[in-house]
Every structure is written in structure tokens, then in C-alpha cells.
Structure 1
Amino acid sequence: MKIYGYVDEGSAVEDINPSMLAEITVVATPEELRNIAAFLLLSASEMDDMGERFGHLHLADKQPEFRDSPHFVVVNSNLVRAGT
């Protein structure tokens, strides 16, 4: 598993490059954590079902209550180049 992130500096989306992170901190309520856990389980199931066709899923697309939160995206590890 690798974790990437972006700093919110007001840059245009096309000008932002991901950085590999050594650590993440999630500040959330118990309910938000349960919702994120459900999203991760859904993502794993869809990845199993779709195989190589699975690209990525956005938390806010599956759970609109996260629409105003930082983007949380699950990406198929087969789509990320080795070493990045």
C-alpha cells in the first residue's frame, strides 16, 4: 500500500502533483470512521468483482455527506507505476 496526498495551496488541479506520504492523520467522528470503513469495504468488493477494470472510487461519490471534505480516493494498485 502506498499513500499519496496533495497540499491545498489553491493551485489549479492540472498543476498539482501527488506526493508520497509517510503518514496520514484522520480527524473524524466515530460515525465518519464507520462510513469510511464501509466505503473501503465497498471498494475492496468492487475491486474483487471488476478485477483489472476497476480504476478508482471517490468517497464523496458514494457518500455525499463527504462532499465538502478533502478528497478520499481509492485507486487500483495495478494502475500505479512501480516506484511512484
Structure 2
Amino acid sequence: MKISGYGNEEIQHRALAEITLIASPAELRRIAAFLTDAAAEMERMGPIYDHEHLCDRQPGFDDSPQIVVVNADLMLP
């Protein structure tokens, strides 16, 4: 697993050594549900799975920083 991200002014992804989620227990459960569903969808779709955004799957995250799950097979080493 790799973690990448960028700031508000950046467009170029950079590798991150750590992420910190400042969230309520309810938000963490919704993020966990999103990750579980994304994993199931990735397995179901196989190599054609591309990516999913948390805000598109879980209401209430529209104004939050984006959490995006990307198929590792699509990323260059």
C-alpha cells in the first residue's frame, strides 16, 4: 500500500509517510464502510476498477478533504 496526497495549492501527488484522521467515531465507521465497499467493488470489477471518492459514496463528506481509493494495479511503480 502506498499513500499519496497533495495540498490545496498543489496539483502534483507526493508520497506521504503518515496520515492523521481527525474524526468522530461515526465518521470513522462511515469511512470504514466506504473502504470495505470499495474493496468488494474492486474485487468484483477486477482490472477495470479505477477509483472511487468517499464523498460520492457517503453523504456528509462533501466539504471534507478528499479520500480516494485507487486500484493499485493502475498505478505506475
Give the TM-score of the pair, scaled to structure 1. 0.89
* CA displacement, residues 49-84 of structure 1 (integer Å, 9 cap, x when unaligned): 0000100000000012101000100000001001xx
Question: What secondary structure is seen at the aligned counterpart in 2 of 1:66?
Answer: coil
**Alignment correspondent of 1:30:** 25
1:5-44 matches, within 5 Å, as 5-9=5-9, 16-44=11-39
For 1:78, give the aligned amino acid.
Answer: D
CA RMSD of aligned residues (A): 0.8
Which has the higher Rg, Structure 1 or Structure 2?
A: 1
For 2:3, give the aligned amino acid.
Answer: I
**Alignment correspondent of 1:4:** 4
Q: Percent identity?
A: 55
Which aligned segments of 4 or more residues in structure 1 are displaced greater than 2 angstroms?
none
* CA displacement, residues 17-63 of structure 1 (integer Å, 9 cap, x when unaligned): 00100000000000000000000000000000000010000000001
